[in-house]
Structure 1
């Protein structure tokens, strides 16, 4: 693809990220490409995604240099303008970034020469009974030990507003939307609706709606399922609910998940991809659903999600499964399977399977 402007989101606390950033700048200079840092932490505080990318010259490629947290910040920016995002892996346990530091220049060459795959990752967006805001007393508490808060959410101008449909918020989540308790001794009480029907009323530490991408993040830690990033579903997971039913529910992308704070509930914080965005009280509600378009992610080769799952989660084979025979064969994702397992190699295009 033609690359005219590159925006970088750099993890400022890692020397290797600064070194990788120098490599990106050198490549841009050699190829006549404009390059600018998108500094989401300084320059007068946090800004909206559209303000940040506008200040960086509306890049058509966003390069993130760090771990999954840095990638999430870059994804928020890229999603605002439908830019392509390329994640350079400087993290330790994440699933989102792909390119090792040693291959930064080669990866940029591949993007320029169209030697890449563009993968669409599902995003979530929201409607709410009102604009999300963080009260000043809560904001001071939540900022302790962290960077500054993002500005209040804006309203999407391309959506109908008002009445029972609520306010369409101009936000996107690659991982999850979380509604959680603010006080340690006061759980949130929430009515959960899926596809417009009441599922149950929960008293819990938190309730979250995750994408397939986010299924390996907070939802997984709370006992939720691992979902292929190629799927398009919404994963609802309660966190420490005071009820017998503590399972996740996987909904179709056209089945919104509604969360209404009930009358006797404590206040609830709304976080989007780990960023506090608002505080709700009894009677307030949010509706979470699939965004109209997904995040465009650069892939330089086949995505070995299950191999990464095995590696990052330190999965080991059950002793009873391998004690008396040969272990299950393992092969690189870039190689064909052994002959007797060739039936596991699906066609590139599902329609070709007939």
Structure 2
């Protein structure tokens, strides 16, 4: 098995954990390649020394943000991602450090499935293209007040409203910014999109879940300062008045390792503090 490792090396503790992963997997017969800027610190083979398309599994050490960064930076890699959580609120990076070795053992023994999650792809009026695993966010940027946005679904007007912006999230992204803005949690095996307004001026303006087969066009209506469109918090571009962005389901999928010992609902309970009685 060829594995790409994307570790944290900021502290001696994180370096120690990375070396532990490398040593364990190497002893099990896997070929490990480490992201170039960190490989030297860990005395490990450079990722650039192998064919990226031959990588079977990508292991990230960090949080969900680390997974998103790797997926965007190495979009040509087709292997599934396993996230070891070194942060706090990680829904995709669901392997806890305390269970790291048993989970890696499961990986070697192939006690997992590959979960293919839906993604977004978009194009701006100016022709800029992008993809998103979690969400695409349009927000007011430097505008000190609300901005006007119009949303069309398959060329039919859904809504025209004032708000700080809007989030278009996948099921994967439903537990990210969309959740903080009042959107619903969508189980990741459900193929759907959720449109969540950010601080809308009209309180009846609520999140809506739509089919991923629909094409969503969002127009910036206000005659104000440019707003910003951001995909997964990583790719940014400006939208001027009368500009629009078109979003639809991508033909690509985002592939996650789904270990059999970990279930999504226990992760939800743990991360969101659903602990039963309040006293």
TM beyond 0.5: yes
Aligned positions of 1:49-60 closer than 5 A: 57-58=51-52, 59-60=55-56
Query: How far apart are the structure 2 equivalents of 1:123 and 1:228?
Result: 14
- 1:283 shift after superposition: 2.0
Question: Gapped runs of 5+ residues in structure 2?
Answer: 39-46
The equivalent residue for 2:35 is 37
Given candidates 180, 187, 209, the residue that maps to 2:139 is: 180
Q: Describe the SS at the equivalent of 2:174.
A: helix
Distance of aligned partners of 1:183 and 1:32 in 2 relative to their CA distance in 1, 3 Å threshold: closer
- How well do the aligned residues superpose, as a CA RMSD in angstroms? 2.6
Check whether the contact 1:186–1:266 (CA below 8 A) recurs between aligned residues.
no
Distance of aligned partners of 1:244 and 1:29 in 2 relative to their CA distance in 1, 3 Å threshold: closer
Bigger share in strand: 2
Is 2:14 the partner of 1:17? yes
Given candidates 46, 60, 66, the residue that maps to 2:62 is: 66
Return the TM-score normalized by structure 1. Answer: 0.68
The equivalent residue for 1:236 is 195
The equivalent residue for 1:96 is 92
- 1:305 shift after superposition: 2.3
The equivalent residue for 1:295 is 254
Check whether the contact 2:181–2:197 (CA below 8 A) recurs between aligned residues.
yes
Rg bigger for which structure?
A: 1
Distance of aligned partners of 1:282 and 1:293 in 2 relative to their CA distance in 1, 3 Å threshold: same
Query: How far apart are the structure 1 equivalents of 2:276 and 2:118?
Result: 31
- 1:212 shift after superposition: 0.9
- 1:248 shift after superposition: 0.4
The equivalent residue for 1:138 is none
Q: Describe the SS at the equivalent of 1:81.
A: coil
Distance of aligned partners of 1:78 and 1:111 in 2 relative to their CA distance in 1, 3 Å threshold: farther
Query: How far apart are the structure 1 equivalents of 2:203 and 2:122?
Result: 29
- 1:11 shift after superposition: 3.3
Question: Gapped runs of 5+ residues in structure 1?
Answer: 41-52, 133-168, 323-354
Distance of aligned partners of 1:274 and 1:12 in 2 relative to their CA distance in 1, 3 Å threshold: farther
Render the CA deviation track for 1:289-327: whole Å, top value 9, x for unaligned: 2111321111221553223222222235467xx9xxxxx
Given candidates 210, 214, 221, the residue that maps to 2:169 is: 210
- 1:202 shift after superposition: 2.1
Check whether the contact 1:194–1:251 (CA below 8 A) recurs between aligned residues.
no
The equivalent residue for 2:215 is 256
Distance of aligned partners of 1:184 and 1:268 in 2 relative to their CA distance in 1, 3 Å threshold: closer
